[in-house]
């Protein structure tokens, strides 16, 4: 399986293997993701294999749900406190019995690679007959000291891992990590959606807590901006080099200070006006870009998902359990207000992601191919897959080149999958570059340098790591 994901044609495969040889040993830079910093701060042994690899991974649980498996059978807690499977082994067996559902999916690829490369299980195939053996083997490993989070972090060769936190987070885990000398390795990212998004039912409450945390009067719009600036500084002191913004659209807007203040005030007072939330999110993106120009943080934009589309999942099991669905996303008009203002601002960097592939050749590559501030984020979420990664290079490179892309971001909560996700991305990039070499479109030495840039140097550069 050493050649997996490489093209079958022997000549191209040989080139891909050679190119991958240049990047497979490079350190991992993970500039965007959702690993829980408490895990690394506490450095406790992981729980059982199911709680590590299934329960929190909504890529895995959603596909099982799609075939009628009840989430509670997978250990996903019900909001009403109803019964939920507690036995890790029983959860594991559900996965094993339904393993065929994962044929052709990245989840299967990541899990199999994790079994083999992280837990050293060899070429075992999951299934009802092998479920218990695999479970026991992984559980055995998890009991060893070498499988605690920090030991794995070192073994994975991670140089920098960015987590993602709300401005309301005290970042205590990052402080503990810093005290242990891990401050440069595990850094935070400033993600202010909960204090920005008026559609969030707890927005007003979050804004008030932001005031308490900073001593600013966040009932006042200027105080609100000052509070955000203060928290950005607080995050920077915990290693943050970037912010992140998860919005329903890519809309940006530049409102008059007075209009923004009025909008802010009326919503705090409970007045809901149609369109305010969207306009205010867009306006705040421009404000955050302005703050980035001042403090140097890189602005990431993740637009497009319809959050908690699945009302049954949301109602029974809460938010963020796999029920989000992408929507068509417009960028050309949406980003213009922000780009008009800061698209050529020296030192300002914005990394834009998409869940809508049709935008790659039509909007995103052309935008990144002219505005110095703009970089294209890696294929994300449903697109973080061998075919998705391949199509990204095939559609983006010709207009934006390689150097307006930001390198791979694993964007994951699944800590153990980090090395194998980066491996998959590096292999697909090697395969794409190998085709360019085989078709005489790029000399081999330049392809090798490009592979290394994509795997390591570009994300460090773009994210200022």
Q: How far is the CB of 403 from a copy of itself (least distance, A)?
A: 5
Q: Which of 279, 361, 444, 457 binds a copy of itself (CB under 8 A)?
A: 361
Interaction pattern, residues 209-248, with a copy of itself; x per rule: CB under 8 A:
----------------------------------------
| Ramachandran sector of residue 233 (left: φ over 0; alpha: ψ -120 to 50; beta: rest) | alpha
109 binds a copy of itself (CB under 8 A): yes
Q: How many residues does the chain have?
A: 465
Half-sphere exposure of 382 (CA within 13 A, CB side): 14
176 versus 435: smaller Cβ distance to a copy of itself: 435
403 binds a copy of itself (CB under 8 A): yes
66 versus 271: smaller Cβ distance to a copy of itself: 66
Which secondary-structure segment (H or E) carries 288?
A: helix 276-295
Stretch that binds a copy of itself, among 82-90, 153-161, 249-257, 336-344 (CB under 8 A): 336-344
Q: Which of 125, 155, 202, 464 binds a copy of itself (CB under 8 A)?
A: 125
| Ramachandran sector of residue 7 (left: φ over 0; alpha: ψ -120 to 50; beta: rest) | beta
What is the DSSP pairing of strand 325-326 with strand 305-306?
Answer: antiparallel
Stretch that binds a copy of itself, among 142-150, 170-178, 212-220, 388-396 (CB under 8 A): 388-396
Q: Which of 246, 303, 343, 459 binds a copy of itself (CB under 8 A)?
A: 343
Stretch that binds a copy of itself, among 129-137, 153-161, 226-234, 394-402 (CB under 8 A): 394-402
DSSP state of 458: H
265 binds a copy of itself (CB under 8 A): no
362 binds a copy of itself (CB under 8 A): yes
Q: Which of 371, 380, 456, 463 binds a copy of itself (CB under 8 A)?
A: 371
Q: How far is the CB of 14 from a copy of itself (least distance, A)?
A: 10
464 binds a copy of itself (CB under 8 A): no
348 binds a copy of itself (CB under 8 A): no
Q: Which of 3, 87, 212, 294 binds a copy of itself (CB under 8 A)?
A: 3
Token code pair at residue 119: 């837990």
Half-sphere exposure of 328 (CA within 13 A, CB side): 4
Residues forming a β-bridge with 182: none
443 binds a copy of itself (CB under 8 A): yes
- Residue 442 in contact with residue 450, Cβ under 8 Å? yes
Determine the angle formed by the axes of helices 257-268 and 221-237, rounding to 10 degrees.
Answer: 90
249 binds a copy of itself (CB under 8 A): no
Which secondary-structure segment (H or E) carries 428?
A: helix 418-438
Q: How far is the CB of 329 from a copy of itself (least distance, A)?
A: 8
Measured between alpha carbons, how far is 434 from 443 in angstroms, rounded to an integer? 10
335: closest CA among 315, 351, 324? Answer: 351
331: closest CA among 290, 308, 306, 361? Answer: 361
What value, to the nearest 5°, has the Cα angle with vertex 165 and ends 411 and 291? 100
Q: How far is the CB of 419 from a copy of itself (least distance, A)?
A: 18
Question: Burial, 272: exposed, middle or buried (Cβ in 10 Å; 0-12, 13-18, 19+)?
Answer: exposed
Q: In the range 26-65, which residues lie near a copy of itself by CB under 8 A?
A: 62-63, 65
383 binds a copy of itself (CB under 8 A): yes
274 binds a copy of itself (CB under 8 A): no
Q: Which of 17, 180, 397, 444 binds a copy of itself (CB under 8 A)?
A: 397
Stretch that binds a copy of itself, among 36-44, 177-185, 270-278, 321-329 (CB under 8 A): 321-329
Q: How far is the CB of 340 from a copy of itself (least distance, A)?
A: 5
79 binds a copy of itself (CB under 8 A): no
Q: In the range 83-102, which residues lie near a copy of itself by CB under 8 A?
A: 100-102
Q: Which of 234, 402, 415, 456 binds a copy of itself (CB under 8 A)?
A: 402
Which secondary-structure segment (H or E) carries 303?
A: strand 298-303
Measured between alpha carbons, how far is 294 from 236 in angstroms, rounded to an integer? 12
Measured between alpha carbons, how far is 384 from 428 in angstroms, rounded to an integer? 11
- Residue 49 in contact with residue 92, Cβ under 8 Å? yes
Measured between alpha carbons, how far is 238 from 174 in angstroms, rounded to an integer? 7
Q: In the range 129-188, which residues lie near a copy of itself by CB under 8 A?
A: none
Measured between alpha carbons, how far is 424 from 430 in angstroms, rounded to an integer? 10
Place of tokens 């559980």: 139
Measured between alpha carbons, how far is 143 from 166 in angstroms, rounded to an integer? 32
Stretch that binds a copy of itself, among 66-74, 81-89, 149-157, 178-186 (CB under 8 A): 66-74
86 versus 440: smaller Cβ distance to a copy of itself: 440
Q: Which of 256, 258, 274, 439 binds a copy of itself (CB under 8 A)?
A: 439
Q: Which of 37, 282, 323, 407 binds a copy of itself (CB under 8 A)?
A: 323
267 versus 435: smaller Cβ distance to a copy of itself: 435
């Amino acid at each position: 399986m050493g050649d997996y994901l490489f093209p079958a044609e022997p000549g191209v495969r040989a080139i891909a293997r050679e190119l991958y040889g240049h990047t497979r040993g490079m350190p991992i830079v993970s500039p965007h993701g959702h690993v829980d910093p408490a895990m690394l701060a506490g450095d406790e042994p992981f729980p059982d294999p199911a709680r590590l690899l299934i329960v929190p991974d909504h890529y895995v649980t959603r596909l099982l749900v799609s075939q009628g498996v009840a989430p509670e059978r997978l250990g996903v807690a019900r909001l009403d406190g109803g019964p939920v499977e507690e036995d890790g082994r029983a959860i594991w067996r559900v996965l094993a019995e339904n393993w065929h559902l994962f044929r052709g999916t990245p989840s299967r690829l990541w899990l199999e690679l994790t079994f083999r490369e992280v837990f050293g299980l060899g070429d075992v195939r999951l299934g009802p007959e092998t479920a218990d053996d695999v479970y026991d083997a992984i559980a055995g490993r998890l009991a060893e000291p070498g499988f605690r989070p920090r030991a794995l972090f070192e073994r994975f060769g991670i140089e920098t891992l960015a987590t993602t936190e709300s401005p309301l987070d005290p970042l205590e885990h990052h402080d503990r990590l810093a005290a242990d000398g891990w401050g440069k390795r595990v850094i935070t990212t400033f993600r202010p959606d909960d204090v920005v998004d008026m559609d969030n039912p707890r927005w007003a409450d979050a804004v008030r807590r932001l005031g308490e945390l900073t001593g600013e009067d966040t009932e006042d719009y200027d105080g609100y901006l000052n509070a955000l600036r203060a928290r950005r500084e607080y995050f920077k002191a915990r290693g943050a080099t970037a912010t992140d913004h998860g919005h329903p659209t890519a809309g940006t807007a530049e409102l008059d200070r007075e209009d923004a203040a009025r909008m802010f005030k009326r919503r705090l007072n409970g007045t809901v006006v149609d369109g305010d939330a969207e306009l205010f999110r867009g306006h705040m993106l421009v404000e955050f870009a302005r703050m980035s120009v001042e403090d140097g943080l890189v602005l990431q934009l993740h637009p497009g998902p319809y959050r908690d589309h699945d009302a049954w999942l949301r109602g029974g099991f809460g938010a963020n359990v796999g029920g989000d669905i992408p929507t068509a996303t417009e960028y050309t008009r949406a980003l213009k207000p922000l780009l008009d203002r800061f698209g050529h601002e020296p030192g300002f960097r914005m990394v834009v992601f998409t869940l809508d592939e049709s935008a790659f050749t039509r909007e995103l590559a052309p935008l990144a191919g002219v505005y110095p501030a703009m970089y294209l984020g890696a294929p994300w979420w449903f697109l973080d897959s061998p075919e998705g990664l391949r199509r990204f290079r095939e559609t983006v490179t010709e207009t934006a080149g390689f150097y307006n892309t930001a390198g791979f971001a694993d964007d994951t909560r699944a800590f153990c999958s980090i090395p194998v996700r980066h491996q998959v991305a590096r292999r697909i990039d090697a395969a794409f570059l190998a085709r360019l070499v085989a078709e005489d479109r790029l000399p081999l030495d330049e392809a090798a340098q490009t592979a290394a840039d994509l795997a390591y140097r570009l994300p460090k550069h773009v994210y200022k790591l």
